[in-house]
Structure 1
Amino acid sequence: MSLTREKVLDTALRLADEQGLAALSMRKVAAAAGVEAMSLYNHVRNKGDLLDGLTARVFEEVSLPDPALPWDRRLRALAEGLHASFTRHPVVVRALVAQDANPRSAGALRVIDALLGALLDGGSDEQAAARAYRSLLGMLFGSVLTGTAGAGAPAVRDEPVVAYFRRVAAVEELPSLLRVLPALEAGDCVQDFEFQLGLLIGGLRPG
């Protein structure tokens, strides 16, 4: 199969998923694609273009909902699609948060346009749509980064943090913390994303 930009980007994304962005190089991408490094420059201009391109591929994985659906159903479908795609490729979220990459492709921009379109159709003006969009991205990034962090062994402590919270909350008379602590232990950011999304959408609905 002849080398294409899509093949280069998909190869780079696979390597980034496996080894992290710090280990990504044009030489490694070329070796994984079975070509010489110079061949890549027929399809990507430089390392920045490569990072932007593989980030765009992650956005392009998201299916656009039927535009005839109500705005809130479209917004939920897009947010859930992005959450699933980002969770498959958390390395891209880290690149976005660090501003090392941007989703530069027509396909990626269509996803962003559909998100903003749903917000505008829900009654937001331009400023409110921009704020809601940024809030949604913050929720997505936070959920994915928290849910995919900590692959290594945690640092050893004499007292687990939950035991510390429980002991100090009881001694210092922090009744709300003591009461809710079991529920905090039982949840995580990944499983709470649907709840967070519901709060955001509910807050955007006209009163």
Structure 2
Amino acid sequence: MAERKRGAAQPASVWLTPPARQPGPPGLSRDRIVRTAVELLDAEGLQALSMRRVAAQLDAGHMSLYWHVNTKGALLELALDEVFGEVVAPADDLPWDERLCALAGSLRAMFARHRWAARLIGEYLNIGPNALRMTDTALRVASGSGLSPDQTDSAAALVLEYVCGFATAETRMLENAATAERDGGQSAEEGFANVSDAVRSGFTEFATLRELASRDIGTATEIRDRNFTFGLRCIIAGLGTLADSDETPA
């Protein structure tokens, strides 16, 4: 294996790097390394990931990983595309709006299972096969909306970016709540209930917010689910209205 030069520019994406021409040590493969990295990320988060930790999980020397993955960043990019493979394409016999809702829901569920993944959005080009397959599915579904061809890509991007943005905030909050609970603090639902009690009993200048807190609006989980669904339906309703009109956005 050629020695990597210190300070050498790294490729823009692992998917743009030619594969190694020589096989590495027996017993290892890139797929096995990536699956192990995903397991470690799920169990301990981004801060715990290192090439040494992955090698230890595989009972291998850490330098042997570099035959298959050049850098930790490349491994994270591969791990991100690995979990994108869990996003399920919706059934073809559904209406386009239901298909778009199903795709968005599957993407959000993936981020919930792999809370570290949302933090990597924007770090990489996301041009791995699974990410491209998901994007292709979104484009195909959006094309059934009646939008013009030059609007379809924007519609697909809007839905995917909405889910990624929502998941980024949601998973970070859940991670922080899980950390607080492990450290002996209150659970996420207990924290939400305490905040609601504080708003109801104080903050007299925020009358509308106090009135909201006094109603039975559900648990924190129920509110997040409701907000996600409402926002998604607003987006899809807007796309449908645009498709039915003769107006073309600037």
TM-score by length of 1: 0.81
Structure with bigger RCO (C-alpha 8 Å, 6+ apart): 1
> How far, CA to CA, are the matches of 1:130 and 1:87 in structure 2?
20
Partners of 1:147 and 1:190 within 8 A in 2: no
Separation in 1 of the partners of 2:112 and 2:51? 25
Deviation by residue 1:90-121 (Cα, 9 ceiling, x = unmatched): 0111222xx44453411221012211332233
Which sits farther off after the overlay, 128-137 or 13-22?
128-137
Note the C-alpha offset of 1:184: 4.5
Residue 19 and residue 186 in structure 1: after superposition, are their counterparts in 2 closer, same or farther (change >3 A)? Answer: closer
- Work out whether residues 62 and 111 of structure 1, in 8 Å CA contact, stay in contact via their aligned partners in 2: yes
Structure 1 9/102 Cα, relative in aligned 2: closer, same or farther at 3 Å?
Answer: farther
What's the CA shift for 1:50?
0.2
1:24-35 to 2 correspondences below 5 Å:
24-35=49-60
In the alignment, is residue 133 of structure 1 matched against residue 160 of structure 2? yes
What percent of counterpart residues are identical?
34
**Is the 1:51–1:100 Cα contact (8 Å) retained in structure 2?**
no
* Displacement after TM superposition at 1:173 (Å): 6.7
Distance 2:28 2:210 in 1: 59
The number of residues matched between the two structures is 199
SS at match of 2:32: helix
Find out whether 1:197 has 2:232 as its counterpart.
Answer: yes
CA–CA separation in structure 1 for the residues paired with 2:155 and 2:142: 8
CA separation of 1:102/1:150 partners in 2, compared to 1, >3 Å: closer, same or farther? farther
Shift of residue 76, structure 1, vs aligned partner = 1.6
Aligned mates of 1:120, 1:32 — CA distance in 2: 44
Q: Which residue of 1 aligns with 2:104?
A: 79
Task: Tell me which residue corresponds to 1:150.
Answer: 177
Structure 1's unaligned 5+ residue stretches are none
Q: Please, which runs of 5 or more residues in structure 2 have no aligned partner? A: 1-25, 245-250
User: Which amino acid is 1:178 matched to?
Assistant: R
Q: Deviations over 1:142-198 (max 9, x none)?
A: 3333344311125xx9xx4323311335x4371x32322134563435432334333
Q: Name the CA distance, whole Å, in 2 between partners of 1:22 and 1:187.
A: 27
| Aligned-residue CA RMSD (Å) | 2.7
- Structure 1 position 7, deviation (Å): 0.9
In 1, Cα distance between the equivalents of 2:28 and 2:85? 20
Could you say which structure has the higher helix fraction?
1
**Contact 2:112–2:167, Cα closer than 8 Å, also in 1:** no
CA gap of 1:163–1:73, structure 2 versus 1, over 3 A, is closer
Residues 142 and 149 of structure 1: is their aligned pair in 2 closer, same or farther, counting only changes over 3 Å?
A: same
Q: How many angstroms does 1:72 deviate by?
A: 1.5
